[in-house]
Amino acid sequence: MTLKLRCDDYGFECEYILDGEKTISTIEKLRNHFEEEHGIDYTIEAVTQMIQNRGHSLESIKK
């Protein structure tokens, strides 16, 4: 399964889109983008929760 994560879905006026497998590595890439581009240092757990709030189950994300 894949994820398509759009930065603007998480409240930023930003055109960044990340396509990737449902893995922690993909979530880390989104977290890094938030930190590097928007100056917000979210934890992996916080970003994972954001993704869950958008309808993806925790069980579907591969470790």
pLDDT tens figures, 21-56: 888 899 999 999 999 999 999 999 999 999 888 888
Question: What is the Cα–Cα distance from 1 to 62, expressed in whole angstroms?
Answer: 10
Contacts of 58 (CB under 8 A, 6+ apart): 48, 52
Q: What is the domain count for the chain?
A: 1
Query: In which residue are the tokens 């979530």 written?
Result: 27
Domain-embedded: residue 46: yes
Q: Residues 48, 27: contact at Cβ < 8 Å?
A: yes
2 pLDDT above the threshold of 70: yes
Domain-embedded: residue 41: yes
Domain-embedded: residue 47: yes
Structure tokens at 12: 């930023």
| Domain around 13 | 2-58
Domain-embedded: residue 63: no
58 pLDDT above the threshold of 80: no
In this structure, the number of other CB atoms found within 10 A of the CB of residue 41 comes to: 9
